[in-house]
Structure 1
Amino acid sequence: MAITYLWVLFSALVSAQTAPPREEGKWPFVPKADPYSKDAALDLRLLNERVAGETGFVKVSAEGDFLRGDGKPIRFWAVNAVAERTKPFVPRPRWSPQEPLLANQARFLAKRGVNLVRLHAFLNPKVPAANSTQPVPKLTDIDTGERDWIWRAVAAYKKEGIYSMFSPYWAVNMKFAEQWGLPHGANLNAHGLLFFDETLQEAYKGWLRELLTTPNPHTGIPLARDPALAIVQLQNEDSFLFWTVNNLQDPYKTDLGTRFYGWVVRKYGTFDKAREAWGNNRVAGDKPEEGILMFHNLWEMTQGRTGGISARLADQLEFWVWMMRRFNEMMVRYLREELGCGQLINATNWKSGDPVRLEDAERYAYLPTDVLAVNRYTTGVHNGTNRTWAVMRGDTYTSPSILEDPRGFALNIRQPAGRPFLVTEANWVAPMAYRAEGPWMVAAWQSLLGIDGYFWFSMGTEGWTPPQSANGFLDSQEKWEFASPDVLGSFPGAALLYRGGYLRRGEAVLTEHRSAQDLWLRRTPLVAEAASFDPNRDAGDVAPTSAVKTALSPLAFLAGPVQVVFDSDASKTSALPPEQYLSHDHTAVFSTTGEIALNLPARLAVIDSPRAQGAAAFWSSRPEGVETSVLKIHSTNDYGTVLALSLDEQPLENSARVFVQVATRARPTGWTEEPATIAISGGSSVEGFRITNHGRAPWQIWKNDFRFEMRNRRLARAIVLDENLMPAGTVELTREGGAVRFKFPEEAMYLLLTERESRLP
C-alpha cells in the first residue's frame, strides 16, 4: 500500500510540475484515461454483441468463414492479452504498481475494435525450483492459477462482447519433476511427446477436464457450455515436422520407432516388402528383427532426394502426419463427446522445417479440427544479449518494411479450402521502425484474402503500454508489445475497415489441388510461403499431372486468395494469368478486386474502394503525393499511413461523416541509434543500426505533415479527436468547388469530418 501511495504521489507531482519532454519533429504521447463517454465520436464497442456468445456458439460456414450462433457472419479483430493472471498481484519495480484489471482492459479493447482475445496459457503443473520448500505437484495436477485466470478472463471479456480462445499447453513450458519417475526426469524434452505418450496425454486430458467442465465461478456455467469461449487450441507450436523432432530422446524415440515399424508392416504387409520398396535404405538404429525402425534426420526431408531414400522418407513423413492427425482426432472426440464442448477446435499453430516441401503436410495434419492456424511475425535481424525477449542499448537490428519487400508478410498463406485460417501470434516486432503499416496492411489484406484472424501479440496493460522494461526488472524496452501509439493507435480505423466489410474478398489467384501422395513425395507447390521462394528455382518438382505447369510469383499472395484442396487431383488445379494482377516487370501487384495495389519500387500501397481510401508510403520520396478516386494526399513525412472511412455507409464522395486516421513512427523518449554492419549466419553481413540508447517513457511520435483534398460536397466541419476518440478541437476546412481541403493536425491521430449540422457522437 505504501509503494502504491508513493507512486501515485510522485506521478501527481510530476504531472503538475513537469511538462512531458519534447523532441525535435515529434510530439510526446501522454494519453489521458479513457472516460468511455457517450460523446466519443467513434466507439467500436457497438460492433460487438451485448455479451459474447449471446446468439450461441461460433460456427463455420461451408465456405470456411466464421458465423455467429444465429448464422450471421462475424469477423474477428484479435489480440493476445494478459491481465490479472497471477493472484495475489506482485508489483515489479520498473512497471506500474497498479494491477491491470481485466474489466478495464476489456472495455479499452472493445472500444478500439477488438472482439476476440487469445489466452496463451500453460495448464501443466509447475515444478518448484530445486531449493524451494514447496511440495512437488503430481503430473496430473492442473496449475490452478492458470485455470483461474482463464475463468476470470473469459468472463470479463464476455461482458464487453469479446470472444475468447485459449491455448492450454506449450512443450517449451512443460518441465518435468524427478519425482514423477519418467525417463530423464527433469531433463526430459517435451517436444513431440504429446502426440503419442499416453502418460502425458492422460494428464493433459485431466487438465482440460477440470478447466472445461468445472463451473466457472464468475459465470456459473462451465466453459464447455459457454459460447463466449469460441475456440479451443489444442497446443501451441509443436510438430513432428519441425527441427525439434531430431531431439526426441530415448526411450521415447524407440517407442515411436516401434510404432513406425508396426505402421510400415500394416501398409506393406511385411517388412521385407517395405525394405524392397526402399531399396534397402537403412537408418542407424534400425532393428527390424526387434520391431524397431529409426528416422532420418528432418534435414533429409528438405532435400530433393530420389530412389530408395526418397521412398523411405515418403513413408516416414506419412507416418509422422498420421500420428499427429490421430492425436488431433482423439482430442476432438474427447472434447466433443466426453467433455461436451460446443467450441470450435484448432489443432495447433506451428510450422514445418521447410515451407516449400513440408508446409502442406503440416496443415494436412490439422484437418481433423475445425480451424487452422499459424504463428508468424514480421521482423528483421535483431542481435543482442536478451534479443529473444528484450530491446536494449547495444543491440543491433534491421528495419525492413513490407512496402519494400512483401515476401515476409504474415498473410502470405496457402489456405486450405473450406476452413477458417488464423494467425494466432503476430506483430511487427520491435525494434523495427516501420510498425505503423501493420494494422493498415493487415486490415486491407485480411479483407482481400479472407483470412479469418490476425492476433496481435501481446498486451499486459489496461490500455496504452508506455515504453517500459521488458520484464519489470531489467532496464530495457519490451519487444513483444503492440499497445504503442504507432500500432494500437491504428486499431480503430483498421478494425472498422476489416470488420465493416469495406473491401471485397478477391477471386482466388490459385486453387491448387494436391493428392496425399504429392505431399509424401514432398513435391513442391506452385507457390510457397517461404520468404526465399524462387519460382524459377524452387518449383522444379511440381506434380506431373498438374494443370498449371509454371510456378507463380510470391506476389500472387497479395493479389487474391491462394487456396489448397487436399486429397484431390492435381489436374483440377487452376490459376489466373499473372498479367491480370502483376505489372509487366513483376514489381507491382494489384488485387483481383481492383481495390488494393502495392508498388515496390515506389514503396507505396494504396486502398481505393467506394467507402475506404488511403495509402501507406515513404512519403518524403513522393513529392507528387498520392491520388485515389476521391482523395489527394501530400506529405513531407518520411513514412506513415493514411486511412479515410465513410461512417454512414455512403461512398466517400457523398458521405456526411468521414473518419480520417493517420499513423507515423514512434520511439521512446531519448532513443538514439547509429549505423552498423551486422554479421549474420553464413558469414555474410547486412547494414542496419546499433541502439545507443533504448530510451524511456513517454513515446515520441513523428509529427504529422499531411495535406488532404477530398472530393465531397457535403462535408463542412473537421473535428480533431484525441487518443480516446473524444472531440478535442477543430481544424480549418476550406472548400473549392466540389472538394474540401484540410491539413491534418500535427499532434493527433484521428479526425472526424461532418456536415455543419451533424451532431456528436
Structure 2
Amino acid sequence: MKINRIRPFRTCSWRTGGAAWALLLAVAAHAQEVPPSTWTFTPERDRFQAGALLDLRYLNEPVAGQAGFVQVNQQGRFVLGNGQPVRFWAVNSSVGHESQWPRGPLWPQGLNDLAHHARFLAKRGVNMVRQHRQISPNLTTHPDAALTDINEAERDAIWRMVAAMRKQGIYTTLSPYWGVPMKFAKNWGIAGGNKQSALGLLFFDETLQAAYKVWLKKLLLEKNPYTGLSLAQDPSLAVFQLQNEDSLLFWTVNAIQGPQREALERRFANFVRTKYGSLDAAWNAWGHSPVKGDQPAAGRLALIDIWQLTQPPPQGGAGQRMADQTEFYARTMHDFNREMVDYLRQELGLKSLINAGNWKTASAERLGDVERWSYLPGDVDAVNHYFGGVHQGENNGWAISQGDRFTSDSALLQPHRLPVNLKQTQGRPIMVTESAWVLPNTHGAEGPFLVAAYTSLSGVAAYHWFATDHDGWAPPHSANGYLPSQQKWTYATPETLGSFPAAALAYRRGDIRTGQPVLLEQRTLSSLWQRQSPRIFEGASFDPNRDTGDGARNGKTIRSAISPDAFLAGPVQVRLGADPVSATYAADLAAWTDKDRIRANTGEIVLDHRLGVATVDTPRTQGVAAHFQRAPQHQLSTLGVRSGNRFGAVMAVSLDDKPLNQSRSVLLQYATQSRPTGWRDKPVTLTLEGGGTAPGWEIESFGGAPWKVVQPELEVSLRNPRLRRATALDMNGMPLAAVPVKREGDTLRLRFPPATMYVVVR
C-alpha cells in the first residue's frame, strides 16, 4: 500500500489565475500518472448478521404500504398513507427477471435471489425499486399469440419482485410498456403492418389502445399468487407509469409513416376543424399557405417536420399553423393520458399514483414545457436523464470494449449537466426514473453525494439509479454474456452503490433542507403552443443509447434568460396554463452565485465548478466531494478533511439523529474510484461529432473481475468532545478493526484505514 504524506490541516487557497489553471488542467488531462495504490474488492456475501454497525433497514416500514397507498400532499410532495412525508432513494432492478434468458458463458454464475436482493437494498437505504418490463405478447416464444394476450413470464417476474420488495419495506414503481421492443404480428390488424416501429402509436391507434387496456386488466386485477393481493389492491405499488420514453414531440414522430401517418393527419384535420369551425376558417387563419402533402378534400392536413417546431416561431399564418400542430400533438397525448387515468381509476380501481410519461422532446427550450403539460392528467411527473461523457466504439450504446474511446466527465466541473436540474410543475412531484453516472466514467463517487444534496435542495421526489441484474454487488463482466466486453449500465459498483448508505440516510431523513423557489414562471397555454422561449429550461437530457445527432440537430447552444445556476441555488418551478395576468417570480441569483461558485439559498451547499468541489454543511450531515488534487483540504463546521487522492467523496452522518458536534455515533463514508482488474487506458485526443476535439482516453484492456479500488488517502477531524473511538467496517457493515484516533481538545482526528469505505466513530 502506498499512502502519500499528508501535512497537518491548514486552510487552502481556492483562488488561482484562470489561465494558469487552464494550462495545468490541459497538461494533467494528457499526462501519464503513477498508478494509485488499490485494494481488491471481493466482499463476502452479506448474511445480514445482527452485529452490523451499519444497517438502514430500520428506515423502511416493516411492510411497504402498511399505512396505505402513497399520496401527494398539497405541497406536491410524496407522503405515506398515514401522511408522513417520504423521500424515495430508488433503483432499477431486473433481478429475478433474467431467468427466462439463458446465461451467457461470460456472465457471473452466482446466486441471484430476490429475497436476498431486497434485504441487501434495504440495508443500504433503498426504499423504492422500479421494474421496467414489457407485458405485450412475446412473439419470439409465442408466435401465435393474440394481440390481447399478456406476456405471462413478465407478469410473473413483476409479481415476484413486488412480493419480495414489500416484505423489506420497499415500494415499487412499475413501467410495463415501451414502444421500442413492441412487435406486431401480421394478423393483428394494426394499420401499417408488422414491420413498423410502435413508437408514438399508443397515443392514437385505437386497436393498440384497446389491447393495452386488456393487458393492464390482466396485469392489475388478477391476484398476485405471491402476496394474495392484486396489484390494484397492493399499496406497495406506489407509482404506475403509463409508458416509457415516448412522445409525439420527439424526433421519432417523423418516423410515423404510411397508414399511421395518414390516420394522424386525419386527426389533425379534425382537430383544426373543431377549433376553427371549418377547414376554410383554418386556411384563412394560416394565411392560405399550403404545406406539401395537404389533402383537405380527403380530410387530411400534412404534419410539418418536427425540426421546424424546434426553431424560433415564424410570424403570421405559418407561425399559427405550427402553433396549432404543437397544440394538436400536446392534446393528443393529454387526451390519451386522461383516458388511461380514467380507465385505471374507474374501471380497474387502481389507487396507486400514476405517471403519464418520462421522456424528452426534440427541443427542451421550445417543447419541454409542452411535454410536461401533457402529463397533467397523471399525478406525478418524471424524466429519464443520465450523466456521462463521450463514448466512441462499435457497441458504445451497451458495451465497453477494447479500443473504445471516451471522456470521463465530472458533474463537479460541469454542474449544469446534473440530471436532477429539473424544472418542476408547481404542486406536482417529479421523479428521475432512470439515471446513473454511466461507465466508463470514473467519477461515480460524486453521484450519490450530489444526488442527495441537490434533490433535497430542489425537492425532486425520487431518483432511480439504473440498473442492476445482481442481487448484491455487480462484478465486472461481459455486457451480454457473450461479447468480450464490460457492462456499462450498472450502479452496483464499489464507488456508487458503496456510497449509498450515508447519502440515502441524509436524503431520506431530510438532513439537507429544501430551499425556497428561486423561480416560479407563469406560462399560458398560448405561450406553450407558440413555443415561446421560457425564462429557463432544462439542459438537453443525456441518454447514451438514443442521443446520437442531438447536438447537430439542436444547432448552436442556446442560453436561457435566467442562468442555469438557478437549478443549483433552489427549486425552479413553472405553472402551466397560468392566467395571462399572472406574474413570474424570479429571485436575484447574484446573492447566491459568482463566477466560480454557486451556493444553495439554504446556505447548506456550496459548489465551486472551477476547482471541482462541492460541500454540504448541515447539523447532521456534512461532506466534501472534490477533485482533491486541486483543493486537498476543507474545514466545515464540524468535519475537516485533507485528502491525497485525486478524487473522492467523503460524508459524515450522525447515526443517532443528533447534530454531528453532539452525536455519540457518526458514520464516516469515503469513496474514491475503481476499475476492473487489468484495466488499461491511454490518453488520446477524441474527434467529436460535428467537429472539434476533446482530451480523453482509449481502452487498451477492459480487464475483468474483481474491481480494484483506489486506496483512501484521507485524514479526518470531527469537532465533537463526545467521540472517543473508531471502528472500520467491511462492506456489509460488520466491524473489522479499531482505527487509531487522536484527541486535541474538542477535536478527534483519524486517518481513514486502507481497504474500506466505512468507519463508525463513537
Q: Normalising to structure 2: TM-score of the pair?
A: 0.92
Does residue 71 of the first structure (1) align with residue 80 of the second (2)?
Answer: no
User: Which residue number in structure 1 is paired with residue 105 of structure 2?
Assistant: 93
For residues 538-687 of structure 1, the aligned pairs below 5 Å read: 538=558, 551-569=561-579, 571-583=582-594, 585=595, 587-623=596-632, 625-687=633-695
User: SS state of the match for residue 207, structure 1?
Assistant: helix
Which of 215, 233, 236 is 2:244 aligned to? 236
User: Which residue number in structure 1 is paired with residue 153 of structure 2?
Assistant: 145
Per-residue CA deviations over 1:502-541 (Å, capped at 9, x if unaligned) read 111001110101101111111111111125999x98468x
Does residue 337 of the first structure (1) align with residue 349 of the second (2)?
Answer: no
User: Which residue number in structure 2 is paired with residue 348 of structure 1?
Assistant: 357
Amino acid at match of 1:502: D
- Using the TM superposition, give the Cα deviation of residue 288 of structure 1 relative to its aligned residue in structure 2, in angstroms: 1.1
User: SS state of the match for residue 513, structure 1?
Assistant: strand
Does residue 404 of the first structure (1) align with residue 413 of the second (2)?
Answer: yes
Amino acid at match of 1:53: G
User: Which one scores higher on RCO, CA 8 angstroms, separation ≥ 6?
Assistant: 2
For residues 502-517 of structure 1, the aligned pairs below 5 Å read: 502-517=511-526
CA distance in 1, matches of 2:635, 2:208: 59
Does residue 107 of the first structure (1) align with residue 107 of the second (2)?
Answer: no
Per-residue CA deviations over 1:433-458 (Å, capped at 9, x if unaligned) read 11110001000111111001110000
Per-residue CA deviations over 1:629-682 (Å, capped at 9, x if unaligned) read 112211110000010011122211111111110000010011111112222221
User: Which residue number in structure 2 is paired with residue 691 of structure 1?
Assistant: 699
User: SS state of the match for residue 137, structure 1?
Assistant: coil
Per-residue CA deviations over 1:210-249 (Å, capped at 9, x if unaligned) read 0100011111111100101111100000000000000102
Conserved 8 A contact 1:118-1:166: yes
- Using the TM superposition, give the Cα deviation of residue 310 of structure 1 relative to its aligned residue in structure 2, in angstroms: 1.2
- Using the TM superposition, give the Cα deviation of residue 32 of structure 1 relative to its aligned residue in structure 2, in angstroms: 0.6
User: Which residue number in structure 2 is paired with residue 417 of structure 1?
Assistant: 426
- Using the TM superposition, give the Cα deviation of residue 136 of structure 1 relative to its aligned residue in structure 2, in angstroms: 2.0
- Using the TM superposition, give the Cα deviation of residue 182 of structure 1 relative to its aligned residue in structure 2, in angstroms: 3.2
Conserved 8 A contact 1:84-1:99: no
Conserved 8 A contact 2:364-2:540: no
Which of 734, 740, 758 is 1:750 aligned to? 758
Per-residue CA deviations over 1:183-236 (Å, capped at 9, x if unaligned) read 443311111100010110011111110010001111111110010111110000
- Using the TM superposition, give the Cα deviation of residue 743 of structure 1 relative to its aligned residue in structure 2, in angstroms: 0.5
User: Which residue number in structure 1 is paired with residue 57 of structure 2?
Assistant: 45
Does residue 247 of the first structure (1) align with residue 270 of the second (2)?
Answer: no
Per-residue CA deviations over 1:404-444 (Å, capped at 9, x if unaligned) read 11121101110001111000000000001111100010001
- Using the TM superposition, give the Cα deviation of residue 90 of structure 1 relative to its aligned residue in structure 2, in angstroms: 3.7
For residues 195-206 of structure 1, the aligned pairs below 5 Å read: 195-206=203-214
User: Which residue number in structure 1 is paired with residue 728 of structure 2?
Assistant: 720
Which of 50, 62, 66 is 1:54 aligned to? 66
Q: Which range moved further: 84-93 or 102-111? A: 84-93
Per-residue CA deviations over 1:376-400 (Å, capped at 9, x if unaligned) read 0001111111111111111111111
Per-residue CA deviations over 1:589-637 (Å, capped at 9, x if unaligned) read 00010000101112110001111111000112224x0111112211110
User: SS state of the match for residue 675, structure 1?
Assistant: strand
CA distance in 2, matches of 1:309, 1:413: 32
User: Which residue number in structure 2 is paired with residue 737 of structure 1?
Assistant: 745
Which of 316, 324, 329 is 1:320 aligned to? 329
User: Which residue number in structure 1 is paired with residue 12 of structure 2?
Assistant: none
Change (3 A) 1:361 1:275: same
User: Which residue number in structure 1 is paired with residue 25 of structure 2?
Assistant: none
User: SS state of the match for residue 370, structure 1?
Assistant: coil
Amino acid at match of 1:552: I
Amino acid at match of 1:300: Q
Does residue 189 of the first structure (1) align with residue 201 of the second (2)?
Answer: no
- Using the TM superposition, give the Cα deviation of residue 91 of structure 1 relative to its aligned residue in structure 2, in angstroms: 3.2
- Using the TM superposition, give the Cα deviation of residue 683 of structure 1 relative to its aligned residue in structure 2, in angstroms: 2.6
Change (3 A) 1:429 1:87: closer
User: Which residue number in structure 1 is paired with residue 23 of structure 2?
Assistant: none
Task: List alignment gaps of at least 5 residues for structure 1.
Answer: 1-22, 541-550, 755-761
Does residue 120 of the first structure (1) align with residue 129 of the second (2)?
Answer: no
User: SS state of the match for residue 258, structure 2?
Assistant: coil
User: SS state of the match for residue 185, structure 1?
Assistant: coil
Change (3 A) 1:181 1:265: closer
Per-residue CA deviations over 1:47-94 (Å, capped at 9, x if unaligned) read 101111001111100111111111111111000001221556743311
Conserved 8 A contact 1:560-1:591: yes
User: Which residue number in structure 1 is paired with residue 3 of structure 2?
Assistant: none
Per-residue CA deviations over 1:545-593 (Å, capped at 9, x if unaligned) read xxxxxx211111011000001111464210110112112x3x2100010
User: SS state of the match for residue 173, structure 1?
Assistant: coil
Amino acid at match of 1:740: L
CA distance in 1, matches of 2:290, 2:423: 34
Amino acid at match of 1:577: D
Conserved 8 A contact 1:669-1:695: yes
CA distance in 2, matches of 1:598, 1:89: 45
Per-residue CA deviations over 1:701-722 (Å, capped at 9, x if unaligned) read 1110110121110000011011
User: Which residue number in structure 2 is paired with residue 166 of structure 1?
Assistant: 174
User: Which residue number in structure 1 is paired with residue 527 of structure 2?
Assistant: 518
Per-residue CA deviations over 1:699-754 (Å, capped at 9, x if unaligned) read 01111011012111000001101100111111111101111110011211000000
For residues 360-509 of structure 1, the aligned pairs below 5 Å read: 360-509=369-518
Conserved 8 A contact 1:352-1:362: yes
Amino acid at match of 1:116: M
User: SS state of the match for residue 251, structure 1?
Assistant: helix
User: SS state of the match for residue 194, structure 1?
Assistant: helix
CA distance in 1, matches of 2:450, 2:253: 35
CA distance in 1, matches of 2:559, 2:730: 51
User: SS state of the match for residue 117, structure 2?
Assistant: helix
Amino acid at match of 1:173: P
CA distance in 1, matches of 2:631, 2:244: 43
For residues 262-277 of structure 1, the aligned pairs below 5 Å read: 262-277=270-285
Change (3 A) 1:89 1:685: closer
CA distance in 1, matches of 2:691, 2:588: 39
How big is the alpha-carbon RMSD for the aligned residues of Structure 1 and Structure 2? 1.6
Amino acid at match of 1:557: F
User: Which residue number in structure 2 is paired with residue 84 of structure 1?
Assistant: 96
CA distance in 1, matches of 2:326, 2:590: 37
User: Which residue number in structure 2 is paired with residue 8 of structure 1?
Assistant: none
CA distance in 2, matches of 1:249, 1:147: 32
CA distance in 2, matches of 1:556, 1:703: 36
CA distance in 2, matches of 1:360, 1:288: 31
- Using the TM superposition, give the Cα deviation of residue 280 of structure 1 relative to its aligned residue in structure 2, in angstroms: 1.8
CA distance in 1, matches of 2:160, 2:354: 21
CA distance in 1, matches of 2:233, 2:563: 46
User: SS state of the match for residue 653, structure 1?
Assistant: coil
CA distance in 2, matches of 1:741, 1:538: 48
Conserved 8 A contact 1:189-1:249: no
Change (3 A) 1:148 1:364: same
Conserved 8 A contact 1:281-1:312: no
Change (3 A) 1:364 1:612: same
Which of 187, 192, 212 is 2:220 aligned to? 212
Change (3 A) 1:219 1:291: same
